[in-house]
Structure 1
């Protein structure tokens, strides 16, 4: 909280050239100073440094009138320091440094910069004109940025919504986490400051996000997602006369309702669009609020494929526009539909390229021109060879719809020198004068995304305008609104990750007004994509029987990272990217997202758990959440806990892991071991980890030991692999996951109807094998499934293996890790192997199946353990 202490009392005023010379105005100045390369002859870091060079790297900031309220570094180098007297000292390095200073000073004051022995000044009145200016005599430039004010209070704040509402004031709502659960807070901007207006009393527990609309000058309508007895539905409440009215339940479907958006049109009708999981797919639905109640919803999308992330806007003529993205054509494209006088138009396809095109935003100019912004990524997004890197490319793309013509406006120029070439999660807003704002998440420095704003004046885009205090995840979108006087405002959430300790807060700031261009630019027409049928096809799940009991074969990924892990944040993608991949590109039945080995804050762990619940839909997808840890032996491990709040730190996760290994835990708890040696192998059967991923581990993550695996793929073993997990005492299911690298191997489970409980049960009962997506394997002993412990009591035991989808592989049955039977798989990919175990086995043994390709890639099953005598029931 201390890092924002100087910001909380700032008066939010965008400085302009018309300010009176003696009027004190709060401004945020960006100062970019040139770097200092190593001096010639100082290749030895231990050598003495010339005093002059040390002096040149020191400097300080001052203002001729008024005072400095805050100075902080933005993307400084390790070892750079700032002092309380607004001074700094840099480490050697040619990279430019950026400082952000907040000043309370009159327009006739001057910003004074000293760097080494040089000094210079630039007038604040000149900076108020908006363009960056060089600082005379100093290798530096200065420009003006929006001045943010913190809106949220205590607790981690996320998912803000901003609207101009009752009284003509701005209103901001957000989801706050207090360490136990979520609440929705409301604040009003009045008399130059943000004032708390309390919370929505009935919105508690787990809340997905909140959206606001103002149908008139007397009321606010809030819509949010909330979990109730494992089901996520949408709820709404009206704020009027200073208090919230009774909560109303908007949706009542068994699947999750999410990614909702609301707007109010000029007639005071509130529109709500959302993504609804119904049956086997997610669809887009639309509902409206009028005369104090919600009308029944209507279905907007039509294809039998998942539809994602709707956007809404209303035109000046009362026409409503709804856009979304879908993989129905085999890759993500943007689709659009409109409604006038209660009638929906035909679905219009906006994009048809092979690239990833998703996360759409809409805005409509006063003249009726519709703007459509969306993310554009690589072709074949989520393909197996790129499965671990879901965020390799991401840029903004824009289209406009003018009448029936689709046009391509120019794109804003993006700043050079960014840490990674990403510009995404664009949010559009059109003001009353016809100017269009585009807010983007940019990777301008290492390990975080910042918000930048671009203004289109009708002819060209403005320079990128950095929003201070906006560091955050790629999926932290901005929200925009206009006040009664036409001023444009933006609110956003930040996780302050660049400051070391992570704390999530909501900020807001006014944007500079600008001047519309006298001539409006005409955009070039682009060919309209043609409508196509649904080409995406759902994968069929094999079924089988073990004895009298029927099962379905599911496949999934039990170790996937997202940007919530600090390691490789620009590579993994967002949490929603991971669930898109699971549902559409990979068609997984279950997926486990892992909290990082080096720890993280409680809110990120809570968010990961909450989103796992949100995207878990019975019959469609089971989403698990795990926490990585180091086991007592030093090997990497992880835990899945029924009560996830226990594992918010690496120490807590490690303690939980040890407790599970000794006591095996409850039915909802699982311990995973990532290791290629037997350091954690128990001496007695029935103890030890529930799951073993022996050929992969969470390498390359901060604090993690390097992987001993010779290859990145979980399906690849060393030429003479250590098969300790196949011994009689291990009693663990063999599993696999993506980790940080692309893999073609998945965890396959024989289970009942797809629910979280059935997947956890199948893992506890070890009905698992690892192999490529196409491999179907049935392994049994006397009709008992793989993972079983059987007691033949001296009688012969018949083992049977059936495989399909294994062309070009050799099928082997192993006893205690040594082959006892082999068969080559036919070109059809099918094979069958039978074997009879004929004791005696005084100490017991373990049978497992391995499939090997000519290139050495291997697939493994969990063993079937043959015990000498039945163990006493626990």
Structure 2
């Protein structure tokens, strides 16, 4: 244990000043930066003005008795050399981070002036190490490159010249060719218009540039398809030829493409897969015979499965199934060992991943799917002699008490001595204020004749699940690791402080290189009480609803299906566990739910953390695939009752998250998730802000006592629709309505509590013009849809259609059309004629009941008991003045659709 004197935390409080965006992240002023997890037994660090306090937390052992690198003369990290002796206030956290990292044998490359992420590492023939990474700085990206000298000192960073001056970049990776030229390969968005005046999207293409003898070579464009070329993986063969595989979208489907650099020129892209379904995240390796092996996951079977294929020259091999059960099998990685084995690792997640599950189905014992962040674990297999063999269980690399923890984000690599290395991330938890907070830490193990060696926990590695670290086996048998963290503290394990890039070398293990006995791989069996998902039936229903057309005001409209309330790992309350990564949001939306539009709506765009909001908005551009999928820019603003939670949306990028307007009787830090201590006109100020930015707000969970509202505020321009139902909880239509909390049950039994004032009928009674949608919120999947009639499938058209209230909400893929006197649902009109209401619907099952509501009263009920209905109803006794009408449909199987009302002004 460190012998330095412990400094009381309280004595540091007034000496630590936090930059604005980290202050907004809701840190505890008295507990900032105390613990940097992942070191030794969970090192707890506090640093300010050169004072550091240490203690230990059980359960986070690195499995090394003494970190080998730490016993040697430590090299100075970039941050140590570039920071003055007295650390500036805005980088105080770096002192703690550096101490934790270097004690664990790692170097910190970050200097605190940017948010650093997505590192890559490579080694030259003379042993020189290079690390490149993405840096978010001053509202744009940079790529920074460092060199490690032979004495262990790191060079000052250099910046890679990119295509644009203030670019968007994705996943910079490096490789060193046979002439020791350092190549940097990245994806960059080029051609995006001004967000306000010309918000057309740009195009993501792959680019490369080499660092040669102290200068940068010419820019090389590797792809030029008008759709995104992203999620690339760079690797080399024994001759140091450079290979690149990536995810292309030539037909709005994820396809795998490949190119190589032979030392003289880059080849043209080679199409590896062109299946109608999406193929994701390819990873590659080259065997001793020069065969390129590519592992990827695909939705071609109606769920995510792992496949392997090969390239010899320009000849593409067969697609080989590796893991094809009904469980989630994705994020594959591949390595080739000298004995001819091709090793593949992947994440195995829940059964029927992302399919029907949520609060009402759970209480009725009808859940048929699993949440996006459901428990997962890394699986390993090898392909040899045309058979798939199961590798040792990776969980055995951890202590017995830690083997049940989730693992993910694996990477395999084969060293020059034939050793198989495995890097993976493991979820760890910390209790905080009666809640379990979660983070993911970096782990490294290697294969021995006895199985996986005890894992090494990389120091100060806690962060998101979606961190893409890289490993590179060095020529001397050691392993080079470049990784990132966000310096979160154990007390607030869900809250990032600042993203940084680190490097560590793991010395060559003393273990013998070899294999344990392998057995044939057997896919896991599904649970006995849940049948496999019928992907064919769902695909037919999606095709039907996408093909449906109506004419509104002389213009043809189609239905687009979306989800406008989804959380990810970037939401601090639940996200790091049950909601999955912000990147897996897109595979769920595009494939599993087959949505046409949607948005990530994390609390305050990731808790007022500037970098997470940048990642959120950037990801919406990475997966902009109209008309297949149109991401909007969104976040949740969680003002507590009576103001109410609202989701905020824009059609263009770069609008700052609107902060909470806090009353001055509060003290402490700025809230990053939700707040109730708001000025009286907080919601009105939000409306004013959105009038200036062109955004909209959508109220949700209106009938809860914690998140709801009493409908004290409304702006029909800014707030055109309401989330009447969410899969995570209840419907908030009216008492006695389907999936509404029972008035006979105690309010506290409702998720989020219950209060009548927030029911949607009360908003209608106040004269509010609100259309309806449904969406998910935390955890729930595949049972809540926002359906919008729009003339075009682009961002602005979809938002404009929502403003017109040409929407309905549903729990399944019901097709519903509702008109009144030639006006579409959501419209308001004046007439002297009798209101004639027309409803046409196609259910996913038999429609058991149709209710027509006028002015919050039931005026007509039908029980057709058939799947397709066409209904016309004339109100023979209309009410004078303004009346609102809408239909509600309930199927025999309990699925529901809520139409937006029409407002009829009787002349």
Pair in the same fold by TM > 0.5: yes
**Is 1:564 the counterpart of 2:564 in the alignment?**
no
2:722 to 686, 689, 692: 692
**Is 1:200 the counterpart of 2:160 in the alignment?**
yes
Q: Residue 303 of structure 2: SS of its match in structure 1?
A: coil
Q: Residue 294 of structure 1: SS of its match in structure 2?
A: coil
Q: Residue 691 of structure 2: SS of its match in structure 1?
A: coil
Q: State the Cα distance separating 1:664 from its structure 2 match.
A: 6.2
The 8 Å contact of residues 810 and 895 in structure 2, kept in 1 or not, is answered as no
Distance 1:411 1:679 in 2: 53
The 8 Å contact of residues 612 and 624 in structure 1, kept in 2 or not, is answered as yes
The 8 Å contact of residues 170 and 483 in structure 1, kept in 2 or not, is answered as no
For the structure 1 residues 520 and 442, does the alpha-carbon distance in structure 2 shift closer, same or farther, using more than 3 Å as the test? closer
**Is 1:786 the counterpart of 2:825 in the alignment?**
yes
For the structure 1 residues 103 and 722, does the alpha-carbon distance in structure 2 shift closer, same or farther, using more than 3 Å as the test? same
Matched residue, 2:869 = 831
Distance 1:824 1:233 in 2: 55
Q: CA RMSD in A?
A: 3.9
**Is 1:748 the counterpart of 2:787 in the alignment?**
yes
1:339 to 311, 316, 329: 311
Matched residue, 1:671 = 697
CA shift digits 1:358-399 (9 cap, x unpaired):
111111123332211111112211111266721222111111
Distance 1:696 1:756 in 2: 23
2:185 to 223, 226, 231: 223
Distance 2:338 2:724 in 1: 61
Distance 2:630 2:682 in 1: 23
The 8 Å contact of residues 232 and 614 in structure 1, kept in 2 or not, is answered as yes
The 8 Å contact of residues 441 and 474 in structure 1, kept in 2 or not, is answered as yes
Which of the two has greater strand per residue?
A: 1
**Is 1:428 the counterpart of 2:415 in the alignment?**
no
1:640 to 632, 641, 649: 649
CA shift digits 1:614-656 (9 cap, x unpaired):
1121111112232222459421112113455443464279999
Q: Residue 735 of structure 1: SS of its match in structure 2?
A: strand
Q: State the Cα distance separating 1:213 from its structure 2 match.
A: 1.7
The 8 Å contact of residues 183 and 205 in structure 1, kept in 2 or not, is answered as yes
Deviates more, 1:481-490 or 1:733-742: 481-490
For the structure 1 residues 327 and 546, does the alpha-carbon distance in structure 2 shift closer, same or farther, using more than 3 Å as the test? same
For the structure 1 residues 75 and 526, does the alpha-carbon distance in structure 2 shift closer, same or farther, using more than 3 Å as the test? closer
Q: Residue 617 of structure 2: SS of its match in structure 1?
A: helix
Q: State the Cα distance separating 1:863 from its structure 2 match.
A: 1.2
Distance 2:297 2:627 in 1: 23
**Is 1:575 the counterpart of 2:534 in the alignment?**
no
Q: State the Cα distance separating 1:238 from its structure 2 match.
A: 1.9
2:174 to 212, 215, 227: 212
Q: Residue 589 of structure 2: SS of its match in structure 1?
A: helix
1:822 to 861, 869, 879: 861
The 8 Å contact of residues 434 and 516 in structure 1, kept in 2 or not, is answered as no
Deviates more, 1:76-85 or 1:580-589: 76-85
Q: How does 1:254-333 map to 2 (within 5 A)?
A: 254-290=226-262, 292-333=264-305
Matched residue, 2:427 = 443
1:465 to 456, 465, 475: 456
CA shift digits 1:559-601 (9 cap, x unpaired):
0111111122211111222211112221111222112158241
For the structure 1 residues 72 and 159, does the alpha-carbon distance in structure 2 shift closer, same or farther, using more than 3 Å as the test? closer
Distance 1:634 1:784 in 2: 33
Distance 1:380 1:350 in 2: 18
Deviates more, 1:362-371 or 1:297-306: 362-371
CA shift digits 1:384-421 (9 cap, x unpaired):
12667212221111111234343223223133334962
Distance 2:779 2:905 in 1: 38
Q: Residue 724 of structure 1: SS of its match in structure 2?
A: helix
1:187 to 146, 154, 160: 146
Matched residue, 2:530 = none
Deviates more, 1:668-677 or 1:613-622: 668-677
Q: Residue 445 of structure 2: SS of its match in structure 1?
A: strand
Matched residue, 2:218 = 246
Q: State the Cα distance separating 1:87 from its structure 2 match.
A: 6.3
**Is 1:614 the counterpart of 2:629 in the alignment?**
no
For the structure 1 residues 727 and 321, does the alpha-carbon distance in structure 2 shift closer, same or farther, using more than 3 Å as the test? same
The 8 Å contact of residues 450 and 472 in structure 1, kept in 2 or not, is answered as yes
Matched residue, 2:548 = 543
Matched residue, 1:661 = 687
Q: State the Cα distance separating 1:253 from its structure 2 match.
A: 2.0
Distance 2:385 2:404 in 1: 37
Deviates more, 1:410-419 or 1:542-551: 410-419
Matched residue, 1:515 = 510
For the structure 1 residues 656 and 279, does the alpha-carbon distance in structure 2 shift closer, same or farther, using more than 3 Å as the test? farther
The 8 Å contact of residues 363 and 428 in structure 1, kept in 2 or not, is answered as yes
Distance 1:603 1:739 in 2: 22
The 8 Å contact of residues 800 and 835 in structure 1, kept in 2 or not, is answered as yes
1:237 to 190, 209, 216: 209
Relative contact order: is structure 1 or structure 2 higher (C-alpha 8 Å, sep ≥ 6)?
2
Q: Residue 740 of structure 1: SS of its match in structure 2?
A: coil
Q: State the Cα distance separating 1:856 from its structure 2 match.
A: 7.5
Distance 1:29 1:426 in 2: 33
Distance 1:95 1:177 in 2: 34
Q: How does 1:764-779 map to 2 (within 5 A)?
A: 764-779=803-818
Q: State the Cα distance separating 1:798 from its structure 2 match.
A: 2.8
The 8 Å contact of residues 657 and 671 in structure 1, kept in 2 or not, is answered as no
The 8 Å contact of residues 438 and 454 in structure 1, kept in 2 or not, is answered as yes
Q: Residue 441 of structure 1: SS of its match in structure 2?
A: strand
Distance 1:79 1:735 in 2: 47
Matched residue, 2:775 = 737
What runs of 5+ residues in structure 2 fail to find an aligned partner?
A: 4-33, 74-101, 193-200, 358-366, 431-437, 525-534, 662-673, 744-755
Distance 1:77 1:697 in 2: 40
Q: State the Cα distance separating 1:657 from its structure 2 match.
A: 5.8
Distance 2:355 2:776 in 1: 13
For the structure 1 residues 104 and 357, does the alpha-carbon distance in structure 2 shift closer, same or farther, using more than 3 Å as the test? closer
Q: State the Cα distance separating 1:558 from its structure 2 match.
A: 0.9
CA shift digits 1:139-171 (9 cap, x unpaired):
xxxxx9851111223210111111113754111
Distance 1:516 1:79 in 2: 28
For the structure 1 residues 689 and 168, does the alpha-carbon distance in structure 2 shift closer, same or farther, using more than 3 Å as the test? same
Q: State the Cα distance separating 1:79 from its structure 2 match.
A: 15
Distance 2:391 2:597 in 1: 41
Distance 2:43 2:68 in 1: 26
The 8 Å contact of residues 823 and 833 in structure 1, kept in 2 or not, is answered as no
The 8 Å contact of residues 424 and 474 in structure 1, kept in 2 or not, is answered as yes
Q: State the Cα distance separating 1:294 from its structure 2 match.
A: 2.9
Distance 2:901 2:599 in 1: 23
Distance 1:213 1:380 in 2: 38
The 8 Å contact of residues 727 and 784 in structure 2, kept in 1 or not, is answered as no
Q: TM-score under structure 2 normalisation?
A: 0.75
Distance 2:650 2:821 in 1: 33
Matched residue, 1:150 = 108
Number of residues of Structure 1 aligned to a counterpart in Structure 2: 753
CA shift digits 1:201-238 (9 cap, x unpaired):
22542112112122224312222111122222222222
What runs of 5+ residues in structure 1 fail to find an aligned partner?
A: 1-27, 31-69, 109-143, 700-705, 870-874
Q: TM-score under structure 1 normalisation?
A: 0.78
Matched residue, 1:589 = 596
1:165 to 93, 111, 124: 124
The 8 Å contact of residues 435 and 458 in structure 1, kept in 2 or not, is answered as no
Q: State the Cα distance separating 1:428 from its structure 2 match.
A: 0.9
Q: Which structure has the greater CA radius of gyration?
A: 1
Distance 1:847 1:155 in 2: 54
Distance 1:107 1:221 in 2: 31
Q: How does 1:701-740 map to 2 (within 5 A)?
A: 716=740, 718=742, 722-727=760-765, 729-740=767-778
**Is 1:493 the counterpart of 2:484 in the alignment?**
yes
Matched residue, 1:851 = 889
1:389 to 351, 356, 371: 371
For the structure 1 residues 384 and 462, does the alpha-carbon distance in structure 2 shift closer, same or farther, using more than 3 Å as the test? same
2:559 to 553, 562, 572: 553
2:711 to 675, 680, 697: 680
